[in-house]
A and B are shown apart, each in its own frame.
Chain A
């Protein structure tokens, strides 16, 4: 009976739950979720940080930013990502804001500083840019990498 009732109401229930989700988002209820770091809305770029056995990887979501417009500096366990994005241009072509209906995309200069775990090798860094995502890999120092200890049977 109850399942049937829910089934019939499902489309409406969806609308309610979506509305509630939207309200939660506005008041940031339920954030931060476990490993999701809460940042103010509009923070640019958004950054993900993962740690593997061999290296730490950082993803910066910088769509529409040419790689030469981004500066990545790693010093004293902090990673600085700065640059600029001008949304009045795309592909070198000027967009005439003669009649602007929506302007939601970030425009201007940005700078983000992220502190990284200890024991990283500043000599072994790599950065790749693809589809608007900047992927930075910083290797761990040899002595900080986890070592497997083999157990000998006596």
Chain B
């Protein structure tokens, strides 16, 4: 039972709860338009190549890797921003067309455009006389 649960929690990046505990949670803005939902996340220090987006069933996972400073001789006077990876997961329902999600990364800001699936888009009903 426990093993099963553990297996379910394991991903290619390691144990999910482990990741969640040792990561920073990026702040996000989520806007909904008529055609799509836009998700914007702040991931400073994460380049395009350090970002992993994954959709597993109805879970959208954002994993951003930040570079660690290499010099061990530096005296750290203060660290308001710990050098940790970013991780956040969202549940996306059937309302989102999972195959057509577009992602752009610019100046440490991730913008995800999640198009709404055909069936939930508002439809105009033509009135016939």
Contact = CB atoms under 8 A, between A and B. Distances in A.
A47 B78 contact: yes
B17 interface: yes
A20 to B, nearest CB: 11
B93 interface: no
A30 B63 CA distance: 26
Interface residues of A, number: 52
Interface of B: 2, 5-6, 9, 17-18, 20-21, 27-33, 37-38, 40, 42-47, 69, 71, 73-82, 104, 106-109, 111
Contacts of A105: 27-29, 40, 42
Interface of A: 7-11, 14-15, 17-18, 21, 35-37, 39, 43, 46-53, 57, 59, 61-66, 87, 90-91, 95-106, 117, 129-133
B32 A48 contact: no
B27 A133 contact: no
Contacts, number: 141
Contacts of B73: 52-53
Contact of B45 (A17, A53, A90, A133): A133
A133 B83 CA distance: 13
B111 A50 contact: no
A101 B30 contact: yes
Contacts of B27: 104-106
A40 B46 CA distance: 23
A101 B76 CA distance: 38
B2 A101 contact: no
B109 A8 contact: no
B54 to A, nearest CB: 20
Contact of A62 (B6, B44, B77, B80): B44
Given A52-B74, A61-B44, 6 more contacts: A37-B78, A48-B80, A91-B111, A95-B29, A99-B31, A131-B47
B47 to A, nearest CB: 5
A63 B44 contact: yes
A50 B17 CA distance: 31
B18 to A, nearest CB: 8
Given A18-B21, A91-B106, A131-B46, A61 B81 contact: yes
A37 B73 CA distance: 19
A47 B107 CA distance: 17
